[in-house]
Chains A and B, each alone.
Chain A
Amino acid sequence: MEKVYLGIVLAPLAGAILAGLFGRPIGRSGAHWVTIIGVAISFMLSLVALKHIVIDGAEPFNGPVYTWMVSDGIHFEVGFLIDRLTVLMMTVVTFVSLMVHIYTIGYMRDDPGYQRFFSYIALFTFAMLMLVMSNNFMQLFFGWEAVGLVSYLLIGFWYKKESAIYANLKAFLVNRVGDFGFLLGIAAILMYFNSLDYADVFAAAPFMAGQTIEVIPGVEWSLLTVICLLLFVGAMGKSAQVPLHVWLPDSMEGPTPISALIHAATMVTAGIFMVARMSPLYELSETALSVVLVIGAITAFFMGLLGIVQNDIKRVVAYSTLSQLGYMTVALGVSAYAGAIFHLMTHAFFKALLFLAAGSVIIGMHHDQDIRNMGGLKKYMPITYWTALIGSLALIGFPGFAGFFSKDAIIEAVHASHLPGTGIAYAAVLGGVFITAFYSFRMFFLVFHGKERMDEHTRHHLRESPAVVTVPLIMLAIPSVLIGAVAIGPMLFGEYFAGAIHVLPQHDVLRELGQHYTGPMGFILHGLATPTFALAMLGVFFAWLFYLKQPALADKAKELLRPVYDILDRKYGFDDFNEVVFAGGGRVAGRWLWRIGDAMVIDGVAVNGTARAVGWFAGVLRHVQSGYLYHYAFVMILGLLVLVTWTWFVLG
């Protein structure tokens, strides 16, 4: 199987290299063929691995590929850990990636950077696979930063666009803030565990439970709490949790296929995956779990609110992604790791679907992304319409759709948890349900229903997108409907993750829920009776009322809630704050250190002072070198006297 695993990562890499370095000779179709074949191989082999591990029940694979380096007796390896968690991620990543590759043929058809684009997304697939398949922290960090790099390259893919190259710099820097914490967490692990191998670290973790670390002298903190929080800072960057979420909405400057692949389905869930992978560590620190829970709850609720005031179709979906990532984080916080991964999977399908549907709309609208200019697209784009409807229903958790199972499970899990902070979190995730339904259907109605508000020219050209676009939509719509009902049993309440995810009995809310679980049908019936369903329906109803039935109401509400609207419109001021305090502050500090520290003090006083002193001394010396022999003789005698005296007294 080792060869299969190698093939899974190397096939997309080979595609990326071929398309990237030989883009011109192989041409446009050559570029999409090599990368699509590469990713398709990767997907097929992932299915083989899935079958091998899950159906055949093979033991997880944990082994090195090669030794990166040996320093100080520590082996830094590049290696794979393939267990049930990994194969699931691999399958999801390669499937969504394959769909996005195919879709790109249509979306980027006229772009001059066609080959480059395919090279990047194949490279991304490679990096993401390296991340999820890693068996150690070093490679995890490798993949972590590599996906960040490709994200940077892709957000700034249209490098002529000022907003795009601003957004990609911002994305990379904010992610680096996360990576900063992440790297310190890894350093802490190496120091105390003396290994970066997952297996070694997880095995030793229970013995570290009492260990403390003095970050601030005199204050003892639990080592595992510190490690978990540092690692979580990394997750906050990558998975865009407040306050490191600011880069994700701006990342929408990139082409839509990558918004679907990277900024919705895969890369942004890396943080979620990481925490789930580290469950043996997080389980040992309730403090860390509480922090995770609260951060997730804040993100889920407040980022959802922002989705309501957005008018750019992609930004609505982006804020929705932020909010859903918050849900996953909340699940992690209550130790429902399996719930988080389950939601990660369903979300990957329906959110990729929503993004690609949005992209299809954008193609139809000639790259106008403002939903206020749309309306009534249903009759022009039926496939996009129906698939978008499926995606939206899955997103709001309509009973029976994939998102319903995963989101309801999370809400129930929060309800069942006893961790500090669950009260707020439960309120946040419930409120989030209403908000999600409201902004999702606000967008849906504004885009597909109601008056046709686009200009005549655009309307004249409106038509359904080509098959390379619609087929991936349909392919993604299928799991958006089915995967929840199929997977909920084994993944949440079965033994699917046994061995891969570790939960302490006292935290195991999913086991508690599982006692009442009778099957998908029972789950749906139970769901219909919960406030969740009512809230979702209420959200859809209000969206219908405000944006379809009585559009004047929306404006009235906006006027009535002006102060709230303004806060939302300014995105709570995070961007302004960062721009002034961090970006501005950094530049001011730099200028100050440069002008005062370097130029005035060091150069002005010390260096030029020395130069002047040397000059002055030389001037004095010039007088000494008078050329008169008796001057020299005098100095010689003087010197001799000093030497004799010194020898006399010192050496005795």
Chain B
Amino acid sequence: MSELPLLSLVIWTPIIGGLVVLAVGDREPWGARSIALVFSLLTLALSVPLYAEFDTSTAAMQFVELSPWISTFNINYHLGVDGISMPLILLTAFTTVLVVIAGWEVIQYKTAQYMAAFLVLEGLMIGVFAALDAVLFYVFWEAMLIPMFLIIGIWGGPRRVYATIKFFLYTFLGSVLMLVALIYLYYRTGSFGVLDFHLTPLGLTEQILIFIAFLLAFGVKVPMWPVHTWLPDAHVEAPTGGSVILAAIMLKIGGYGFLRFSLPITPDASNELDWLMIMLSLIAIVYIALVALVQEDMKKLIAYSSIAHMGFVTLGFFIVFAIIAKSDSMQGAAMGIQGGMVQMISHGFVSGALFLCVGVLYDRLHSRQISDYGGVANTMPKFAAFMVLFAFANTGLPGTSGFVGEFMVILSSFKANFWYAFLAATMLILGAAYTLWMVKRVVFGDVRNAGVATLTDINRREFLVLGALAVPVLLFGIWPAPLVEVMEASVQNLLEHVAVSKL
């Protein structure tokens, strides 16, 4: 099994699948859907060995593929995964299957193109996580934006043009500087190998400039405050599937970038600027949570909630320096990074599920306004059960995956500074306030209007999708060990690397 180029397969299978779907076209929408489903399932199946045969004892890259691509510039087709990227690839493959099923009858307009866009997007996103060559990474990184633009631009809401332009402006700004940084690193190392970048010594000024370039690229993706305002707009305009992928995977690419690039390439700059990162993360948690509280549009609310939850990710990543400085040991630092990573995976399930829940309602009443609902539990009891479950996962309730990451990050940030933990823990109150207040107004209460009275409960397809997300949400809440275990070696390795100065 391991002789197969598994990573190439999981990247190219969905892309080829997407082209096949396009070729078949949507004269027969059923055909396009089925082919899309088959390819997405195939990709998921191909990604399973990545977990099953993963060696948790080593931090080295696994399933490595390396062949020259543009040898003049020493650019290689170099793929590999470690404990940081592998879970994200599985999350991508898993989520795409759900998105294909979720869009089944819902998307009537240009079905084939819709399915194709998601399949291609899947391959490109997996490529981002698997690429170990900076040029290859950058190609996937930029290419992945194209299907996303199309998804929002073609199947999006009324203000989709504004949303796409905003999205483009933000991401473009970040990407360009990142490209400059990558080229600079090439000049320094003579290679585009990301792992070579990790080893090359750099002066502090260089590091800070590179760090800022990366920060703009990844910070926009996460998104961090104050470069977050594209996300609510993009979510509101995107079709349900687009929102799911955006929240579940695309935001994680920013977090992944910090771990793969910023921390190991510029450890001293990270150390120097960690106060900035911590500050921005804490602002994201408190400020954005308050903003989420007053949203009237469910998608906007969940979008803001995502930003606040991603604050835990960046907080967990950059808390390490303060812990090391305070305690003179790395004890507790790994938990922050692992917590951030667990939070990324969990947020993938939970926010994806919440966006799907909103989608279920939107498909029926064509409104995302909280005030248009009320008493949904009366007419959609099964749906209500799922929505309440995912809402509680969003509030970080123990027993759901949402708890694990937040718990770890709060525990470790206490080691850095009482007040970091204090501010981060306000999420316990604010997160519950905005999520459950929404649940109260949407799910509970008496039937509010004629629209709600006509609602029909979720069908088997919707049940399948939400149920498929409920399983990991509960599983990793009750037993996160398998998830944390695969990260352990890579995180320890990253920490040892980060703790050594490059100056």
A residues whose Cβ falls under 8 Å from a Cβ of B: 66-74, 138, 141-142, 145-146, 149, 152-153, 156, 159-160, 162, 165-166, 169, 172-173, 176-177, 179-180, 183-184, 186-188, 190-191, 194, 213, 215, 586-587, 589-591, 593-594, 597-598, 602-603, 606-607, 610-611, 614
Contacts and interface: CB of A to CB of B under 8 A. Distances in A.
Name the residue among B230, B398, B437, B445 with the largest chain A CB count within 10 angstroms: B398
B410 interface: yes
A180 B428 contact: yes
A606 B226 contact: yes
B223 to A, nearest CB: 11
Contacts of B411: 186-187, 190-191
Interface string B157-177: 000000001100110010000
Interface in B331-347: 331-335, 338-339
A134 to B, nearest CB: 12
Contact of A67 (B408, B428, B445, B481): B481
Contacts of A72: 331-335, 338, 412
Interface string B405-426: 0011011111100100110011
Contact of A160 (B293, B375, B433): B375
A448 B198 CA distance: 81
Nearest to B437: A169
A169 B335 contact: no
Given A165-B445, A180-B425, A184-B414, A160 B378 contact: yes
Given A183-B410, A191-B414, 17 more contacts: A67-B481, A68-B480, A70-B481, A70-B484, A70-B488, A71-B334, A72-B335, A141-B398, A160-B446, A184-B410, A191-B411, A587-B293, A587-B294, A593-B287, A593-B291, A607-B169, A614-B169
A594 to B, nearest CB: 4
B481 to A, nearest CB: 4
Give me the 5 closest cross-chain CB pairs, A-B, nearest first: A187-B414, A590-B294, A590-B290, A590-B293, A142-B398
B60 interface: no
A179 B285 CA distance: 18
Contacts of A69: 404, 479-481, 483-485
A338 B72 CA distance: 79
Main secondary structure of the interface of B (DSSP, over half): helix
Interface in B446-487: 446, 479-481, 483-485
B294 A591 contact: yes
B377 interface: yes
A191 B229 contact: no
Nearest to B408: A71
B445 A159 contact: yes
Nearest to A603: B229
B292 interface: yes
Interface string B432-452: 110011001001111000000
Most buried by A among B399, B411, B429, B481: B411
Interface in B89-129: none
B397 interface: yes
Q: Which of B166, B291, B378, B399 has the most CB of A within 10 A?
A: B291
Given A594-B291, A594-B294, A187 B479 contact: no
A114 B290 CA distance: 38
B335 A188 contact: no
Nearest to B385: A20
A183 B433 contact: no
A224 B418 CA distance: 15
A593 B331 contact: no
B484 A142 contact: no
Contact of B291 (A179, A186, A590): A590
B197 interface: no
Interface in B219-266: 226, 229-230
A604 to B, nearest CB: 10
